[in-house]
């Protein structure tokens, strides 16, 4: 499981998170205070999830993680923002991110069409598709971790 | 088999003699001296000296003497020439060699295209298959300089003509590609099949083109001509060895008939015409599909052994169906029989969305895996293997539960040529089951609605083709380049059955070419198909796999009148 540091010190060092483009959905974590603690925890959670998301994208692009057959790269779609929906208890979150997914297909099969494509020098094909990376995260004692990832 | 100039078997079945270079040289000797035959040769170049300067620096010179004499490279030969308005085609063999030239010369502009032709030495793998290199340039020493050089073209792509030579031979010539063509001989060959071969297309003027087809993989003959597509006239040369190993070296005039135009798919404004260049290619090298060389050729024992290891029925993703129609589970729970006319009675119980039980003629009940697709309400295509049959049969069936009719492309192995090559018979029948109407004597019927049509198929990203249904018995397929030029082409036996209005069941057999039986149920309303491939090879064993793609209707050629009706089913 991938993990990200969510301690307060790391958050405060990079306190610009408030400007990050995300939309937080769902109720705030149930913490009894005047609201500032709740907001701080939420910001901390969001920052941790963003870090995890960036890790996932990096891992895919380094081919360390495979989310789909032939996937060679992921790039966040700048026209969309990261969407995070927290569970009631604040211990789970669903994250959706519009991406451009790059695929490579090698036509190495024995079908006649693949053979003829190879003859034409077209034994490999690259293409991009708009997809959505859907991630489920859970918050444990060590912070947030990835539960599942899907490219839809 | 006795040698036949124009075989009465499909060309891909004919054992063309592997002529030796020395045999070819001997057969060319007389023809080099005499020159090409022809009914109405012009041979009017006497006194001319034509010096060709090629764009690549090559220089060639011909000195024409009296009669049909020409001196080339210090050797005197017989030539033939034919004029097509202000263009001249002349041809000769270089004595003492296996090289020949066919030259298209524009007498007004001085532009010229030289087809250098030679037997043996490659790149063709057999000496009898003619090689060619195409040189563009000008005839120097003339007063007028060319403004419009000859060049490769895609302007003919998508057209088709019927040409009739002064020999009487008629041929339908389809140009669905910019590197291949597809032809149907209507006289010399008897079975009205189409064949495909690499072809050069050169634009000479706005109206006149040079087309040069070499019948690679078959006789290796050249059929080349200058064609005025506006006046529908041609002058041409046939050169090479026919099935009886006799040299054909004659020139002809012909008249044509325009048969239509299908769509081209290059980006608008793209007139580039050499879509498959070979970097640092050898002289005369081009991309020629040689399917027999790459095909697995298995014995009956090898087929049995590979089948015994296990079969693959819709158990893995198929690149041929990445964009396919989603399978249907709607047959699950149904039970019916199909009674084929002159064929078996098949009992079916569909036990799940991909499992069924079949029995043939009341025999044992056998479980099998299947997939089904519902392409119109109540009209399904499904396929399964018949485990335990000696020829490892597969049934690919379209059932119309709204009218009780069924058609089966019955595939089988152990055909006489290669045991792993799929054979196929078309069976028509009726569906018998509760709530299914009895069609009486009515059956699905073969159709010509598909004849002359072309459809593109986008199977998976980067894996596309176009079908051309060129005869009532031929399916051809053409492979596009990424920028939309259609290029390499091949073909096999086809069959076409109408299921309902705008719903057609077609097939192709990859004979002497990978051995697959491919089937498609084409819905022209949704412009999507679902089909099934039945294949046996060394690598993948015996398989049934999905075929499916969205389609574009590229158009339809008007060719029905050229094909006789064949009676019976």
**Residues whose CB falls within 8 Å of the CB of residue B23, separated by 6 or more in sequence, listed in order:** B245
pLDDT in tens, A85-101: 999 999 999 999 999 99
Cβ(B383)–Cβ(B389) below 8 Å: no
Q: What is the dihedral of CA B288, B291, B294, B297, to 10 degrees?
A: -160
Place of tokens 């299908």: B262
DSSP tag of B215: -
CA triple B51-B57-B61, angle to 5 deg: 20
ipTM of the complex: 0.94
Quick one: residue B310, left, alpha or beta (phi over 0 = left, psi -120 to 50 = alpha)? Answer: left
> Is the CB of residue B482 less than 8 Å away from at least one CB of chain A?
yes
Of B68, B98, B46, B82, which is closest to residue B239 (Cα–Cα)?
B98
Residues facing residue B283 across a β-bridge: none
Q: Which residues of B touch A105 (CB under 8 A)?
A: 319, 460-463
Cβ(B10)–Cβ(B223) below 8 Å: no
Cβ(B320)–Cβ(B460) below 8 Å: yes
Neighbours of B363 (CB within 10 A): 12
Per-residue pLDDT of chain B (569 residues; tens, 9 = 90+): 799 999 999 999 999 999 999 999 999 999 999 999 999 999 999 999 999 999 888 899 999 999 999 999 999 999 999 999 999 999 999 999 999 999 999 999 999 999 999 999 999 999 999 999 999 999 975 555 566 789 999 999 999 999 999 999 999 999 999 999 999 999 999 899 999 999 999 999 999 999 999 999 999 999 999 999 999 999 999 999 999 999 999 999 999 999 999 999 999 999 999 889 999 999 999 999 999 998 999 999 999 999 999 999 999 889 999 999 999 999 999 999 999 999 999 999 999 999 999 999 999 999 999 999 999 999 999 999 999 999 999 999 999 999 999 999 999 999 999 999 999 999 999 999 999 999 999 999 999 999 999 999 999 999 999 999 999 999 999 999 999 999 999 999 999 999 999 999 999 999 999 999 999 999 999 999 999 999 999 988 999 999 999 999 999 999 999 999 887 65
Q: Do B463 and A114 touch (CB under 8 A)?
A: yes
- The two structure tokens encoding residue B190: 């008897």
> Is the CB of residue B516 less than 8 Å away from at least one CB of chain A?
yes
pTM for this entry = 0.90
Cα radius of gyration (chain B) = 26
Cβ(B103)–Cβ(B90) below 8 Å: yes
Q: Is the pLDDT of residue A25 over 50?
A: no
Cβ(B325)–Cβ(B529) below 8 Å: yes
Q: Where are the alpha helices (DSSP H) in B295-386?
A: 300-308
Q: Which residues of B touch A109 (CB under 8 A)?
A: 319
Per-residue DSSP letters for B426-466? EEEEEEE-TTPPP-TT---EE-STTTTEEEEEEEETTEEEE
d(CA B509, CA B518): 6
Cβ(B295)–Cβ(B418) below 8 Å: yes
Q: Is the pLDDT of residue A10 over 60?
A: no
Q: Is the pLDDT of residue A4 over 90?
A: no
Q: How far apart are the first and last CA of chain A?
A: 21
Which positions in chain A have a beta carbon within 8 angstroms of at least one beta carbon in chain B?
69, 103, 105, 107, 109-117, 119-122, 124-127
d(CA B548, CA B324): 4
d(CA B272, CA B264): 13
Cβ(B324)–Cβ(B547) below 8 Å: yes
Give the pLDDT mean for A23-45: 68
d(CA A91, CA B177): 61
- The two structure tokens encoding residue A113: 């069409």
> Is the CB of residue B484 less than 8 Å away from at least one CB of chain A?
no
Sign of the dihedral through C-alpha B121, B123, B126, B131: negative
User: In the β-sheet with B405-412, what is the strand arrangement from edge to edge?
Assistant: B366-369, B355-360, B345-350, B335-340, B423-432, B405-412, B394-400, B379-385, B371-376
Whole-Å CA distances, B164 to B199, B223, B398, B472: 19, 13, 40, 21
Cβ(B327)–Cβ(B321) below 8 Å: no
Q: Do B479 and A109 touch (CB under 8 A)?
A: no
Place of tokens 């895919």: A60
Q: Work out the minimum CA distance from A6 to partner chain B, whole angstroms.
A: 41
Q: Which residues of A touch B320 (CB under 8 A)?
A: 111, 113
Q: Tell me the backbone φ, ψ of residue B439, rounded to 5 degrees.
A: -80, 0
Per-residue DSSP letters for B116-158? EEE-SSSSSSSTTSPEEEEEEEEEETSSSPPSS--EE-STTTT
Q: Work out the minimum CA distance from B520 to partner chain A, whole angstroms.
A: 15
Q: By CB neighbour count within 10 A (0-12 exposed, 13-18 middle, 19+ buried), where does A140 fall?
A: exposed
Q: Which among A103, A110, A120 is the nearest to B540, CB-wise? A: A110
Whole-Å CA distances, A20 to A14, A52, A79, B409: 11, 14, 14, 60
- What is the pLDDT of chain A when averaged over all its residues? 82
- What SS3 string covers B165-195? ECCCCEEEEEECCCCEEEEEECCCCCCCCCE
Q: Which residues of B touch A69 (CB under 8 A)?
A: 317
Q: Work out the minimum CA distance from B557 to partner chain A, whole angstroms.
A: 24
Q: Which residues of B touch A118 (CB under 8 A)?
A: none
d(CA B372, CA B204): 52
**Residues whose CB falls within 8 Å of the CB of residue A80, separated by 6 or more in sequence, listed in order:** A97, A98
Q: Which among B294, B461, B487 is the nearest to A105, CB-wise? A: B461
- The two structure tokens encoding residue B485: 């030029």
Cβ(B234)–Cβ(B253) below 8 Å: yes
Cβ(B75)–Cβ(B90) below 8 Å: no
Q: Which among A109, A120, A127 is the nearest to B487, CB-wise? A: A120
pLDDT in tens, B226-283: 999 999 999 999 999 999 999 999 999 999 999 999 999 999 999 999 889 999 999 9
Of B421, B407, B554, B405, which is closest to residue B495 (Cα–Cα)?
B407
Sign of the dihedral through C-alpha A68, A73, A77, A81: positive
């Amino acid at each position: 499981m991938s993990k990200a540091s969510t301690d307060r010190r790391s958050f405060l060092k990079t306190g610009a998170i408030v400007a990050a483009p995300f939309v937080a959905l769902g109720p705030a974590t149930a913490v009894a205070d005047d609201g500032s603690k709740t907001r701080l925890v939420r910001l901390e959670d969001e920052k941790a999830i963003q870090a995890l998301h960036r890790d996932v994208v990096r891992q895919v692009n380094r081919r360390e993680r495979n989310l789909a057959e032939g996937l060679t790269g992921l790039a966040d779609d700048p026209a969309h923002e990261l969407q995070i929906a927290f569970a009631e208890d604040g211990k789970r979150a669903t994250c959706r991110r519009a991406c451009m997914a790059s695929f490579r297909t090698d036509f190495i099969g024995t079908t006649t069409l693949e053979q003829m494509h190879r003859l034409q020098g077209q034994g490999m094909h690259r293409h991009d598709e708009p997809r959505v990376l859907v991630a489920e995260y859970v918050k444990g004692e060590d912070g947030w971790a990835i539960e599942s990832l899907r490219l839809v | 088999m006795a040698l036949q100039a124009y075989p009465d078997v499909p060309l891909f079945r004919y054992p063309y003699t592997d002529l030796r270079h020395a045999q070819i040289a001997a057969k060319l000797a007389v023809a080099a001296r005499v020159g090409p035959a022809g009914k109405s040769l012009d041979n009017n170049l006497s006194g001319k000296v034509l010096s060709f300067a090629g764009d690549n620096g090559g220089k060639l010179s011909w000195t024409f003497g009296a009669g049909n004499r020409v001196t080339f490279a210090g050797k005197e030969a017989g030539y033939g020439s034919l004029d097509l308005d202000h263009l001249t085609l002349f041809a000769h063999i270089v004595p003492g060699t296996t090289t020949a030239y066919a030259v298209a010369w524009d007498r007004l502009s001085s532009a010229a295209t030289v087809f250098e032709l030679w037997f043996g030495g490659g790149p063709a793998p057999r000496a009898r298959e003619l090689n060619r290199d195409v040189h563009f340039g000008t005839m120097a020493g003339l007063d007028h300089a060319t403004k419009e050089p000859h060049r490769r073209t895609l302007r003919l792509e998508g057209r088709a003509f019927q040409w009739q030579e002064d020999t009487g031979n008629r041929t339908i010539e389809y140009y669905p590609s910019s590197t291949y063509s597809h032809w149907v001989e209507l006289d010399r060959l008897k079975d009205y099949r189409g064949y495909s071969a690499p072809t050069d297309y050169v634009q000479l003027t706005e109206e006149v083109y040079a087309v040069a087809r070499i019948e690679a993989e078959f006789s290796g003959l050249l059929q080349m001509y200058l064609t005025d597509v506006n006046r529908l006239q041609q002058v041409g040369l046939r050169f090479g060895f026919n099935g009886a190993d006799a040299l054909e070296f004659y020139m002809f005039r012909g008249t044509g008939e325009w048969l239509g135009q299908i769509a081209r798919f290059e980006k608008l404004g793209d007139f580039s015409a050499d879509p498959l260049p070979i970097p640092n290619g050898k002289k005369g090298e081009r991309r020629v599909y040689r399917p027999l060389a790459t095909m697995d050729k298995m014995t009956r024992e090898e087929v049995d052994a590979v089948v015994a290891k296990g079969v693959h029925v819709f158990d893995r993703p198929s690149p041929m169906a990445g964009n396919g129609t989603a399978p249907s589970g709607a047959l699950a729970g149904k039970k019916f029989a199909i009674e084929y006319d002159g064929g078996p009675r098949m009992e079916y119980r569909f036990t799940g969305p991909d499992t069924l039980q079949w029995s043939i003629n009341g025999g044992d009940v056998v479980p099998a895996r299947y997939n089904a697709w519902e392409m119109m309400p109540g009209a399904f295509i499904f396929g399964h293997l018949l485990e335990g049959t000696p020829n490892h049969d597969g049934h690919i069936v379209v059932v119309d539960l709204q009218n009780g009719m069924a058609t089966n492309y019955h595939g089988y192995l152990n055909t006489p040529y290669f045991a792993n090559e799929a054979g196929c018979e078309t069976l028509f029948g009726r569906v018998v089951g509760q709530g299914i109407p009895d069609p009486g004597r009515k059956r699905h019927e073969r159709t010509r609605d598909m004849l002359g049509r072309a459809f593109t198929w986008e199977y998976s990203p980067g894996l596309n083709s176009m079908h051309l249904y060129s005869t009532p018995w031929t399916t051809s397929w053409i492979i596009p380049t990424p920028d939309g030029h259609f290029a390499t082409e091949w073909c096999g036996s086809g069959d076409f059955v109408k299921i309902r209005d705008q719903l057609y069941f077609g097939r192709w057999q990859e004979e002497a070419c990978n051995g697959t039986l491919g089937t498609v149920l084409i819905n022209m309303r949704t412009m999507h198909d679902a089909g099934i491939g039945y294949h046996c090879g060394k690598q993948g064993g015996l398989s049934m796999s999905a075929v499916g793609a969205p389609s574009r209707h590229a158009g339809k050629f008007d060719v029905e009148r050229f094909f006789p009706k064949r009676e019976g089913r």
